[in-house]
A and B are shown apart, each in its own frame.
Chain A
């Protein structure tokens, strides 16, 4: 396979020379027919990266080739090859789904029967053919997301960028979106998918890049990435939100032998412990929590996964 996307030493500094570096020396490749996920928390640099790959932002450094075309030197050719599904619902709400698709299709340079055929095709993919003549403003959040995706597919692109397309939608719509992306991929379309949901990256991706603070800290398949953390399990405690002495609990857990990392997520009432010896220390973990006044509501033990990797590489949970 040859790469459809080649990114080398990509950097972006806003308000150069003194502004913050949003993306630092990022390099990766996406092979034709591959789904590549950029996984990272909010503010990690995912959208900035995708904006540079979409010709929306000029890189401060590095090169980007899409299907062999440079985004800085041949943006017109690049735009013909890529489909972009932005994070925002970039549609005209007072127009119908059909009118939106007609408008955006014309913007891609499509016309006539070919455009009508493509509209029918993407409406089928979005599973919204029966709502084609309804105004977008009457759609649910999930339906809007699906039309948003359909617009990005109108011109039959070789690679499609999805920028967090499942944010803020219901589980059923999320499932439809993930399934439609997998279906697209079976037709040979390459995908760049950004998300901060580990489960989505795990389910979709052939390859995953973990990005944090603008840096790509690991790239590989899920198996390759989890090998980075060895046999470390994640033990997650759901705690009572009224826990009086959370800091004392965290301190007590950190000093237990074979505990590698301890993080907390007060918003989700979660304490996460990373350990390679779950069975041996589990009683100790429970007793320390009880003694320090943090009641446990539930307990989950997870085998090594991308969250473990992120925790291992950054010392922070993906949700932080």
Chain B
């Protein structure tokens, strides 16, 4: 039985590999759509920057005062910045062109420390070649550093004033000098405290590089599995159509006069459709990953289990539809409507999370929604096999139901 079923399956695969039109529709078009959508939305969805990337900035420090030094040291210790000290002319030249790779330039004037310490207005020149996320980050880093300096000075002033009121400097030979020394020491302590004992610590962790804030798939995370699900259904229903064509041209009847069971014939045909669907999905996944940088999640095992389950479901749908229609023409008409409905309601065209609740419930009456849920768990949410076991169970339940109806109702003649 197995040998003959495999022979039938291979014959089916042989015939579809020679059908260029079918291959174009089932392989090339989804890849083209992936490419076009990828171009339209700029590749992967919600990509966060690589935390190891360093952004270059140049600083022209014309001030010899301690506050200017503190400012430079602070910026040098900022994790994402690679700081280079240059003169004013070099700083201006660095941001005159994008070719230098410098994101921004900061010029600290000679009177910065004096004016900043005495609470006078002081101007820092900050320049970037273009406004960008990176240049904003640099600007914020400078603001933060100045804020720390300002807060440290304020804290030192308050501390010196309280000490003066308590009369700590009154016994000194030179109270003014003593107060200034105390203040300078307080500034130093405050600045050190920012580093050793910061008032608030925010620990940021990148849970998954694919995860969007709300868990809703976007960009290629949405469209790639969506196209995969839709075109897999098209492929398998095309296989169902070939079953009806075989009934029409008489090859199915000829198979039935061969010494084997009907079940062997149907098993062989469905095996061919199933293997073909797996190959199609494999091509879409691999080509998507290598040609268009589509990311298929962090769990290859989950994908290796989930894809065969989904392909089996799509195969079962094909035999059920082939059994419920009379002619190939009817199936062609029905298949377009069915696949479009499966795709739209199941979340293959847009995230099912954005549609009204009643439509989400309606979608989950279809296998496509559960397939998309599984793919989204694996791809968008970066989850593993255990997270999609429920979806696998639901898909298998659909599969069993479809097979029962299909095998029961299919007409061989």
Contacts and interface: CB of A to CB of B under 8 A. Distances in A.
Interface residues of B, number: 21
A79 interface: yes
Contacts of B301: none
A104 B265 CA distance: 12
Given A86-B250, A99-B14, A76 B259 contact: yes
B249 A89 contact: yes
A91 B251 contact: yes
A88 B11 contact: no
Given A84-B257, A107-B258, A95 B15 contact: yes
Contact of B253 (A89, A90, A95, A99): A90
Contacts of B249: 88-91
A56 interface: yes
B15 A107 contact: no
A73 interface: no
Contacts of A87: 250
A106 B4 contact: yes
Most buried by B among A55, A84, A92, A95: A92
B77 interface: no
Decide if the interface of chain A is mainly helix, strand, loop or mixed: loop
A56 B253 contact: yes
A82 interface: yes
A79 B253 contact: no
Nearest to B7: A106
Contact of B11 (A90, A103, A108): A103
Contacts of B258: 79, 104, 107-108
A230 B19 CA distance: 59
B7 A103 contact: yes
Interface in B280-314: none
Nearest to B3: A106
B4 A79 contact: no
B15 A56 contact: no
B122 interface: no
B254 A104 contact: yes
A95 B19 CA distance: 11
A70 interface: no
Contacts of B11: 92, 95, 103
16 contacts: A76-B259, A79-B257, A86-B250, A86-B254, A88-B249, A88-B253, A90-B249, A90-B253, A90-B254, A92-B251, A94-B18, A94-B19, A95-B15, A103-B7, A104-B254, A106-B3
Interface of B: 3-4, 7-8, 11, 14-15, 18-19, 249-251, 253-260, 413
> Which are the 9 A-B pairs with shortest beta-carbon distances?
A88-B250, A90-B250, A90-B254, A79-B259, A107-B258, A94-B18, A84-B257, A106-B7, A54-B257
